[in-house]
């Protein structure tokens, strides 16, 4: 339990901050800073939304339905994650792994649905610099893609992170296969044909972590990975109403 | 993998309840938006109130902040809430553009 207390001298211990282990404090501090990053992006989006009466409302019934299913995926993944943390506390290794794998599956479902949504919007003519619905509001594409893209990147990093905790080195070949399959199966003109290389980068980083500091991830590590995952879910709880529900097109 | 003692009474049932409430609140948000129950500004306020309730449930139960030391709750939450509130200062300008019709 080297991370519970910092040793000074022979047997003088300084109690840890807030009476908990330092890895958790580290993750909380990271999440606080990350929430300000997302906060800035959300405020920028909302500023544009409020100050432009011509703000486009491109989200039809199927887009809202899609985004609602995505929200359900993320909420359910949070549930499976806490069940994984509970299993880790009990010392039940196989259920910890199973719950985390289910969490990753829900997360992957979210990213795939979101990628399909992006592809549809791009096919309709939306780019970061223009959109087909409101020529006077070119910033709609830029703010939308930055905000949701940043969130999608966080979900992808979360899936890679959970895979490292759940499967350790066995995760690396799976990740490479996922990267290769995603790269070969997406059309060459699709934005995700390039974007999938995030998985390759993630594999390299995960390999560096797994080979340079091999360890058996314990219940604390599972809990910290869970904190990150719930944060990603938390951010989506603001993106979903601000971006999708506030731009619903009921008629037409 | 070593076990960590649970310091508090938490059960699977509690997590399922929180999950159910989160799904229910999401459904309420979707219905409010799709039926266009409120005007845009009231809609924004209603959705934000529901989202803040949802985020409080996620932070409190899923992220276990409810069970952390009191000092940790206060330090973490006041810091981030204060910073996010300061960002609201820009909205005065956003409404100026809207209400004065500045182009």
Report ipTM for this prediction.
Answer: 0.87
In A212-241, the residues whose Cβ lies within 8 Å of chain B are: 216-220, 223, 226-227, 230-231, 233-234, 237-238, 240-241
Give me the DSSP letters along A42-71.
Answer: HHHHHHHHHH-TT----B-HHHHHHHHHHH
Which of B37, B62, B96 is most worth mutating to test chain A (most A CB atoms within 10 A of its CB)?
A: B62
Please tell me the pTM assigned to this model.
0.90
Neighbour count for residue B88 (Cβ, 10 Å): 10
Burial of A20 (0-12, 13-18, 19+ CB in 10 A): middle
Q: What is the pLDDT along chain A (252 residues), one digit of tens a residue?
A: 455 555 555 556 677 788 888 899 999 999 999 999 999 999 999 888 888 888 888 888 888 999 999 999 999 999 999 999 999 999 999 999 999 999 999 999 999 999 999 999 999 989 889 888 888 888 899 999 999 999 999 999 999 999 999 999 999 999 999 999 999 999 998 999 999 999 999 999 999 999 999 888 999 999 999 999 999 999 999 999 999 988 887 654
Is some CB atom of chain A closer than 8 A to the CB atom of B21? no
Distance from CA of B58 to the nearest CA of A (A): 7
């Amino acid at each position: 339990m080297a991370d519970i207390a910092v040793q000074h001298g022979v047997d003088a211990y300084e109690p840890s901050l807030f009476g908990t282990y330092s890895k958790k404090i580290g993750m909380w501090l990271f999440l606080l800073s990350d929430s300000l990053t997302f906060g800035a992006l959300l405020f920028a989006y909302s500023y544009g939304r409020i100050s432009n009466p011509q703000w486009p409302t491109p989200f039809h019934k199927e887009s809202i339905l899609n985004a609602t299913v995505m929200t359900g995926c993320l909420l359910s993944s949070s549930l499976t994650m806490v069940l994984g943390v509970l299993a880790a506390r009990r010392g039940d290794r196989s259920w910890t792994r199973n719950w985390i794998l289910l969490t990753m599956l829900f997360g992957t479902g979210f990213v795939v649905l979101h990628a399909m949504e992006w592809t549809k919007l791009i096919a309709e003519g939306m780019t970061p610099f223009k959109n087909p619905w409101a020529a006077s509001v070119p910033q709609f594409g830029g703010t939308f893609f930055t905000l949701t893209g940043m969130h999608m990147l966080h979900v992808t990093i979360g899936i890679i992170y959970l895979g490292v905790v759940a499967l350790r080195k066995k995760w690396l070949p799976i990740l490479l296969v996922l990267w290769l399959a995603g790269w070969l199966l997406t059309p060459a003109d699709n934005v995700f044909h390039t974007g999938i290389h995030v998985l390759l980068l993630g594999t390299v980083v995960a390999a560096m972590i797994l080979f340079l500091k091999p360890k058996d991830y314990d219940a604390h590590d599972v809990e910290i990975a869970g904190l990150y995952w719930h944060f990603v879910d938390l951010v989506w709880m603001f993106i979903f109403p601000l971006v999708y529900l506030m731009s619903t097109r009921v008629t037409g | 993998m070593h076990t960590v003692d649970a310091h508090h009474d938490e059960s699977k049932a509690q997590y399922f309840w929180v999950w159910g409430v989160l799904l229910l609140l999401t459904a309420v948000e979707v219905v409010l938006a799709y039926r266009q129950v409120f005007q845009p500004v009231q809609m924004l306020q209603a959705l934000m109130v529901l989202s803040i309730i949802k985020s409080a449930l996620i932070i409190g139960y899923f992220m276990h902040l409810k069970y952390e030391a009191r000092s940790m709750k206060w330090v973490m939450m006041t810091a981030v809430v204060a910073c996010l509130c300061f960002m609201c200062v820009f909205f005065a300008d956003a409404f100026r553009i809207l209400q004065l019709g500045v182009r």
